[in-house]
Structure 1
Amino acid sequence: MAKKYLFITPLAVYILDEHGEPIAFYKLYRDSMSREEHVRLLYDMEQGRLSEKILEFIASNIKKEDELVVEDNDLGRFISNNLKDARVESATRGDAILKARENLTSIIEKTVGVKPQEYYSLVHELMLQLTRLKVKEVAEKRDLFVAQAINALDDVNKTINLFASRVREWYSLHFPELDELVEEHEDYFKVVSNIGFRSKMTKERLKELGIKDDVAEKIVKAAQSSMGADLTEFDLEAIRLISDTGLRLYSIRRSLEKYIDEAMYEVAPNIRGLVGSLLGARLIALAGGLDKLAKLPASTIQVLGAEKALFRALRYGAKPPKHGVIFQHPLIHRSPKWQRGKIARALAAKLAIAARIDAFSGEYRADELREDLEKRVEEIKTLYAKPPVKPERAVKAKKGGKKFRGEKR
């Protein structure tokens, strides 16, 4: 039995003997091939895939009793799966390959006919194109578009709250009572932008803006007896600039939410079906992409978004967080406190499965996952219907007050 080594370079693929000498070689770049095809070939090899011609070259140069040593584990698995008779061994280090690497430029010159200086310039150009291809592949991933959209939505929400706070404070100089009567920021913007002066407040105009009857009546009464200052048209126009922008931001928010929902249906339908499009997109953004989320264990998914609390617990010995952003899911935040940790664990486990299906399979199984989750939540609510009884020592310690470091009791 003889050992042979697979040695891959940017310009050729070699079969080496045990002394690091090339037995056979396959030239990667040919006259009939474009530079883009050559770069794509290198990219595929980096991802653990070989073309049919390279597989044929390998098969024709190894015998049944030979053992082929491959440095890359992914390539080793690929060759084993596609060449059933080949005996493949994955090894991160081989003396034959090290010797070939030391004499790389001379081997390239003898076999391919490329001089050292020309070889280095070719490799430099190929690596630049390969890097561009990798960047393009990453940028074209739809999950990164979803992550950017959810971050943009968060920015829009922050801006809406900032503008609403400013308009309420500014307009309250004229009509302070409106601040308590209208809770929704969008309704407040509508009143300021479309009516403005409190003297023009009528029930009919308020109802046209979507204000409820009873609230509209209260606003009209409050406007008649308001203790606010008078407002000029010049002042109102300045306030309306901010108010009109707030209304446009609400329109942008709705458009972004629609975009995220449709994109999540394409990118991660199982996550969307399990926790909704917005929460699912936020998890993808926090993980750094769908592939990264799929590789995370359920315990990490459970606390995504609560990193500060987690590190505080590790550093100062505080209680570790039971959940991160998944707290936004109604099954968690509508449940009693003592049940939330267990429900969060169950939800994170299903999310881990959903993320892996979306990333690697594409099969739709959200309904099945959601049904299993609901069953588990019902079990938790039945088994832990009442809060746990605190240990007697903990109760006494709480009554006795805080125990400071260095103090003896």
Structure 2
Amino acid sequence: MKAKIDLLRRKLIHKARERVTEKFTGRDQHVIKAIGVLGDLDNVFKLLFEQVREWYGMHFPELERMCNDNAVYLKLAYHLGDRKNFLFEKICEHYENQLAAKQIEEKAGQSLGSPVEEEDLAEIRLLALNALNLREEREFLVKYLEKAMKQVCPNVLAVAGALVGGKLLATAGSLKRMAMMPGSTLQVLGAEKALFSHLRKGTLSPKHGHVYQHPLVRGVAKNKKGRMARTLGAKIALAAKKDFFGKKEDCQAELQALNRRAEQLGGARK
């Protein structure tokens, strides 16, 4: 009896090792990790930008209202620094909007902000540089994500895009699990909190999760987003099955169907 228990124990350990190895061997796990890092980069960038905006705003508060692009704001704060350096030609080196550049130059000369010591300004500029580096790293990571998904799940990439498809894959846990999910599940994947609230408290059920960020869903009217998300979820489910079982890129039919549905609902083509 003891020998049988030992044999069973060894088999269970061996099976567990195989499953762990299989989980971390798949290339889809690298895509999932990249999506997690991408989310962290976005969160850290937002925090850094908020700190730069508040700190630099003590010196040049008017800049925030005249520059809606976060990256441009950071470039101006880092490269020009003191508001006395905000001359039209220098501003245009980092901001293509010449009309706004002229307005910024005028406001810099009339700013209500306080003077800033060189030592304090150096810290602000360094913080702005770190935020810009994070934005650049994010761009590199998105390119890596597109390249990796092209190899792992080209059909999901073509139908859902890198960010939406990657988030769905990460929430599902693996390409295999994603391929086993119906379109109705993929439609609300990412809206777990709203779904649990619906099940527990009877609130309205969610109509979309990660797919809400897809251009086709965002391009239709508010009262039609649920229908567009339902169609998109179904097509992503087909794409995931093709990637997992077929291993070849063939999603033209899905893309054409999505574009037709978007036109029916009054949205823009992808």
Which of the five TM-score ranges fits, normalised by the shorter chain? over 0.9
TM-score (norm 1): 0.62
Question: 1:139 maps to what in 2?
Answer: 24
Question: 1:327 maps to what in 2?
Answer: 212
Cα distance change, pair 321–129 in 1 and its aligned pair in 2 (3 A): closer
Question: 1:286 maps to what in 2?
Answer: 171
Question: 1:276 maps to what in 2?
Answer: 161
C-alpha deviations, 1:320-346, integer Å up to 9, x for none? 111111011121112112221111111
C-alpha deviations, 1:162-211, integer Å up to 9, x for none? 11111010001111111111111111111111110001111121122244
- Report the residue type matching 1:217 in the other structure: K
The 2-side partners of 1:268 and 1:368 are apart by: 16
Q: CA deviation at 1:128?
A: 4.1
- Report the residue type matching 1:370 in the other structure: L
Per residue, is there more helix in 1 or in 2?
2
Q: CA deviation at 1:284?
A: 0.4
Check the 8 A contact 1:150/1:281 in 2, yes or no. Answer: yes
Q: SS of 1:231's equivalent?
A: coil
State which of 307, 316, 320 in structure 1 corresponds to 2:192.
307
- Report the residue type matching 1:310 in the other structure: L
Once the two structures are overlaid, the 10-residue window that deviates more, 217-226 or 357-366, is 357-366
The 1-side partners of 2:100 and 2:36 are apart by: 35
Structure of greater Rg: 1
Question: 1:209 maps to what in 2?
Answer: 94
Question: 2:83 maps to what in 1?
Answer: 198
Question: 1:354 maps to what in 2?
Answer: 239
- Report the residue type matching 2:98 in the other structure: D
Q: CA deviation at 1:212?
A: 2.1
The 2-side partners of 1:195 and 1:291 are apart by: 51
Q: SS of 1:174's equivalent?
A: coil
Q: CA deviation at 1:373?
A: 1.9
Check the 8 A contact 2:217/2:229 in 1, yes or no. Answer: yes
Note the 1:369-380 alignment, pairs <5 A.
Answer: 369-380=254-265
Q: SS of 2:31's equivalent?
A: helix
Check the 8 A contact 1:187/1:211 in 2, yes or no. Answer: no
The 1-side partners of 2:91 and 2:10 are apart by: 67
Q: SS of 2:207's equivalent?
A: coil
Q: Give the aligned CA root-mean-square deviation in angstroms.
A: 1.9
Once the two structures are overlaid, the 10-residue window that deviates more, 168-177 or 327-336, is 327-336
The 2-side partners of 1:137 and 1:337 are apart by: 42
Question: 1:81 maps to what in 2?
Answer: none
C-alpha deviations, 1:74-97, integer Å up to 9, x for none? xxxxxxxxxxxxxxxxxxxxxxxx
Which consecutive unaligned segments of at least 5 residues does structure 1 have?
A: 1-104, 106-115, 383-409
Which consecutive unaligned segments of at least 5 residues does structure 2 have?
A: none
Note the 1:113-124 alignment, pairs <5 A.
Answer: none
The 2-side partners of 1:188 and 1:322 are apart by: 36
The 2-side partners of 1:220 and 1:374 are apart by: 45
Check the 8 A contact 2:220/2:265 in 1, yes or no. Answer: no
C-alpha deviations, 1:274-312, integer Å up to 9, x for none? 121111001101111111111111111111111111121
The 2-side partners of 1:381 and 1:244 are apart by: 42
C-alpha deviations, 1:209-257, integer Å up to 9, x for none? 2442112111111111111100111111121221111011011101110
Per residue, is there more strand in 1 or in 2?
1
Once the two structures are overlaid, the 10-residue window that deviates more, 186-195 or 227-236, is 186-195
Larger RCO (alpha carbons 8 Å, 6+ apart):
2
Q: CA deviation at 1:131?
A: 3.3
- Report the residue type matching 1:142 in the other structure: R
